[in-house]
């Protein structure tokens, strides 16, 4: 029996609606949560994602601002902007879209963001809190995936979870969140020996490697939940995308599978709204 395809657009719409109701209630009391997205340079994919983030923030009633800086922006200019945003009481969430142009040090830039405004959850303070089980802002893609699992009724507790990819944005925080949810977690990467065999152990398989359609049916235990974080443009097409999972073959063996597009991406943006709302509430001293 073919897998159930998880409708990320639908789930994201529901999460957005939830956030939107809370934003409306806050606005009725004169409080407006604010998100500022900073985009440096002109990476075409980053343009699309940041435009979507800003649009959704506006729709949900946030004060939403996007700051576009040229690729030639200096380290000093960018850090000065971040310090200004840290000090601005109308800004509750700051997101610097990655990747940055090569002359800028991403780790340094992230560390300059006030951890309370770090709605990406990339600041070392939030990373440490995530791994030590404290309340924190967690990275949007993995947090959105956990929301997804919950909504389709998959509880990670006691299950075998395999995360393919060890990036700071997805792989590592995904492993932390699954561990916090009591899964038995394995992190795989380019040096993992016999990757298909390790993946076949997974009840929950999360793939975030950036290699088009790498994961085929032979990687997947029958009935497993397969979450595809990849977003790879198909060469020679205008806008066509594929994931890191070979959807046609894997859907025949998996129990659940996320499509690309329309899977993890929309949840990432919805979770960003949730994180921004939580950051604003914490700023005002309102309980979460
Ligand atoms: N700082 N940088 C920072 N935070 C992030 O959380 C991100 N990321 C990744 C890249 N850089 C970042 C994103 O927002 C990737 N990412 C992201 C967000 C949304 C979507 C894709 C990537 C998305 O909405 N994808 C749509 C398709 C969009 C299209 O048509 O191109 C989807 O349905 O998957």
Read off the pLDDT of residues 28-47 as tens digits, 9 standing for 90 and up: 999 999 999 999 999 999 99
- In this structure, which topology does domain 140-265 adopt according to CATH? Rossmann fold (3.40.50)
Nearest CA to ligand 1 atom 19: 265
Residue 224 has pLDDT above 80, yes or no: yes
Instruction: Kindly state the average pLDDT of the residues 254-279.
Output: 98
* Domain 30-114 grouped into CATH 3.30.70.260: no
Residue 270 has pLDDT above 80, yes or no: yes
pLDDT band at 287 (very low <50, low <70, confident <90, very high): confident
Compute the distance between CA of residue 209 and CA of residue 169 in angstroms, rounded to an integer: 11
Instruction: Kindly state the average pLDDT of the residues 262-277.
Output: 98
Average pLDDT value for the chain: 97
Dihedral sign (CA 113, 119, 125, 128): negative
Residue 213 has pLDDT above 90, yes or no: yes
Asked if 64 and 277 touch (Cβ cutoff 8 Å), the reply is no
Q: C-alpha 110: how far from its chain's center?
A: 16
Ligand 1 and 275: CB distance under 6 A: no
Residues of the chain with CATH 3.40.50.720: 140-265
pLDDT, residue 1, reads 79
- Distance of CA 285 from the midpoint of ligand 1 (Å): 30
Contacts of 22 (CB under 8 A, 6+ apart): 277
pLDDT, residue 284, reads 98
Instruction: Kindly state the average pLDDT of the residues 38-65.
Output: 97
Residue 57 has pLDDT above 80, yes or no: yes
Asked if 199 and 205 touch (Cβ cutoff 8 Å), the reply is yes
Residues of the chain with CATH 3.40.50.10860: 30-114
């Amino acid at each position: 029996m073919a897998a159930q395809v998880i409708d990320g657009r639908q789930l994201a719409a529901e999460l957005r609606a939830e956030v939107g109701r809370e934003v409306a209630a806050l606005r009725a009391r004169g409080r407006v949560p604010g998100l500022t997205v900073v985009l440096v340079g002109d990476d075409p994919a980053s343009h699309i994602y940041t435009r979507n983030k800003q649009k959704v923030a506006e729709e949900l009633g946030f004060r939403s601002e996007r700051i576009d800086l040229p690729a030639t922006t200096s380290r000093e200019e960018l850090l000065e902007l971040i310090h200004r945003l840290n000090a601005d009481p109308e800004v509750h969430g700051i997101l610097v879209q990655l990747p940055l142009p090569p002359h800028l040090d991403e780790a340094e830039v992230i560390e300059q963001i006030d951890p309370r405004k770090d709605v990406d959850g990339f600041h070392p303070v939030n990373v440490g809190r995530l791994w030590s089980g404290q309340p924190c802002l967690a990275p949007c893609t993995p947090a959105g995936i956990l929301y997804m699992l919950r909504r389709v009724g998959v509880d990670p507790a006691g299950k075998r979870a395999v995360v393919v990819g060890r990036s700071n944005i997805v792989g590592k925080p995904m492993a932390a969140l699954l561990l916090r949810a009591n899964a038995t977690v394995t992190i795989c990467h380019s040096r993992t020996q016999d990757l298909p065999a390790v993946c076949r152990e997974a009840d929950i398989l999360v793939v975030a490697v950036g290699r088009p359609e790498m994961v085929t049916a032979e990687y997947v235990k029958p009935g497993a939940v397969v979450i595809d974080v990849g977003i790879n443009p198909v060469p020679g097409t205008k806008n066509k995308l594929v994931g890191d999972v070979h959807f046609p073959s894997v859907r025949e063996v998996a129990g659940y599978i996320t499509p690309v597009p329309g899977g993890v991406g929309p949840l990432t943006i919805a979770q960003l709204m949730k994180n921004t709302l939580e950051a604003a509430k914490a700023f005002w001293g309102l309980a979460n």
